[in-house]
Amino acid sequence: MKERTLTYRQAVAEAIAEEMARDPRVFIMGEDVGLHGGAFGATKGLFEEFGPGRVKDTPLTESVIVGAGVGAALTGMRPIVEIMYIDFMCMAMDSIVNQAAKVKYMFGGHARVPLTIRTAFGAGRGNAAQHSQSLETWLTVVPGLLVVMPSTPYDAKGLLKSAIRNDNPVIVIENKQLYGDSGHVPEDDYLVPIGKAAVRTEGKDVTLIATSRMCSFASSAVEKLSSEGIDVELIDPRTIKPLDMETIAASIAKTHRVVVVNEGPKTGGFSNEVSSKIMDTCFYDLDAPVLRVAAEDVPIPYNAILEAEVIPAEKDILAAVKKVMED
Task: Report which of 212, 189, 182, 190 is spatially closest to residue 200, judged by C-alpha positions.
Answer: 212
**Rounded (5°) CA angle 243-151-216:** 115
Over residues 84-140, the pLDDT tens digits come to 999 999 999 999 999 999 999 999 999 999 999 999 999 999 999 999 999 999 999
Q: Which residues pair with residue 55 across a beta bridge?
A: 28
Over residues 145-200, the pLDDT tens digits come to 999 999 999 999 999 999 999 999 999 999 999 999 999 999 999 999 999 999 99
Over residues 284-308, the pLDDT tens digits come to 999 999 999 999 999 999 999 999 9
The pLDDT of residue 245: 98
Task: Report which of 76, 36, 85 is spatially closest to residue 56, judged by C-alpha positions.
Answer: 36
pTM for the full predicted model: 0.96
The pLDDT of residue 2: 62
Give dist(CA 236, CA 249) in Å, integer: 13
The pLDDT of residue 3: 76
Please state, in angstroms and as integers, the Cα–Cα distance from residue 244 to each residue in 49, 73, 89, following that order: 37, 27, 25
Cβ distance 185 to 150 under 8 Å? no
Q: Could you give the percent of the chain with pLDDT greater than 70?
A: 99
Over residues 268-281, the pLDDT tens digits come to 999 999 999 999 99
Which value, to the nearest 10 degrees, does the dihedral of the CA atoms of residues 117, 114, 137, 249 take? -130
Task: Report which of 240, 239, 261, 258 is spatially closest to residue 249, judged by C-alpha positions.
Answer: 258
Over residues 204-232, the pLDDT tens digits come to 999 999 999 999 999 999 999 999 999 99
Is residue 310 scored above 60 in pLDDT?
yes
The pLDDT of residue 207: 98
As annotated, the active-site residues are 62, 131
Instruction: Spell out the domains of the chain, with CATH numbers in brackets.
Output: 5-184 (3.40.50.970), 198-326 (3.40.50.920)
> Can you say whether residue 158 is alpha, beta or left, with left for phi > 0 and alpha for psi between -120 and 50 degrees?
alpha
Amino acid (1-letter code) at residue 54:
R
Give dist(CA 85, CA 32) in Å, integer: 12
Q: Within the chain, how many helices (H) and strands (E) appear?
A: 12, 14
Is residue 327 scored above 90 in pLDDT?
no
Mean pLDDT, residues 308-316: 96
